[in-house]
Structure formats: C-alpha cells, structure tokens
Amino acid sequence: MDINEDPRYKLANKEAFYSLLLTLLYFFWWYGFAYGLGSKPVTSYSFIMGFPSWFFWSCIMGFVVFSFASWAMVKFFFKDIPLDSDGKGTVPEGEEG
C-alpha cells in the first residue's frame, strides 16, 4: 500500500492544520493584547484583579480561552484512529475527511 493511499494520513494532515491554525490564533491573541494594550505608558495602565489589563487579557484569559478551545477541538474535530500497520488500521467509514 502506498503512503499516499492511506486515509489516516489525510486525516492526520487535517488535524495538524487545525492545530497550527489554533496555535497561530493564540499567538495573534497574545500579541494583540500584549503589545496593543501594553504599548501605553505605565501610568495609563488599567488593572483587572491587580494585573495590568494587557497581562490579564493576553496571558491569563488567553490561557483559559485557548485551553478550552484546544479541549473542544480534540473532543469534536479529532477522530480516534487505529495505528496498526497490518492493513486493519483504516479510518472508519465516513470519517476520511
């Protein structure tokens, strides 16, 4: 069997793409809040629960939001596939993509 014919690779590539997309979204979230709100002079910072707002939104809430998003992505978008290499490890019907 050719590597390109194995449907598990198509599914793995799709899941890797979703993971990279979520990582990029997290980076832009963090960068946007950290450098967007954090680029002001320190005297003009607003505070949330004792933290500067840029830190609260970029680090604390970013962690919470994207931890939940990661859980949801694995729960609803990732498929459990067998990893056997004896030919029995095919993707169940209807889950190729």
Total count of domains within the chain: 1
58 occurs within a structural domain: yes
In a domain, 19, yes or no: no
Break the chain down into helix, strand, coil percent, rounded to 5. Answer: 65, 5, 35
Is residue 87 domain-resident?
A: no
Instruction: Say whether 48 sits in a helix, a strand or coil.
Output: strand
Nearest to 33 by CA among 71, 7, 59, 10: 59
11 found inside a domain: no
Give the domain extent around 56: 27-39+46-79
Residues in the chain: 97
Inside any domain, residue 86: no
Instruction: Report residue 6 as tokens.
Output: 């194995």
pLDDT in tens, 50-87: 999 999 999 999 999 999 999 999 999 998 888 777 65
Whether 56 is covered by a domain: the verdict is yes
Q: According to the model, what pLDDT value does residue 28 have? A: 96
Task: Tell whether 12 is covered by a domain.
Answer: no
Residue 32 domain flag: yes
pLDDT at residue 54, as a whole number: 92
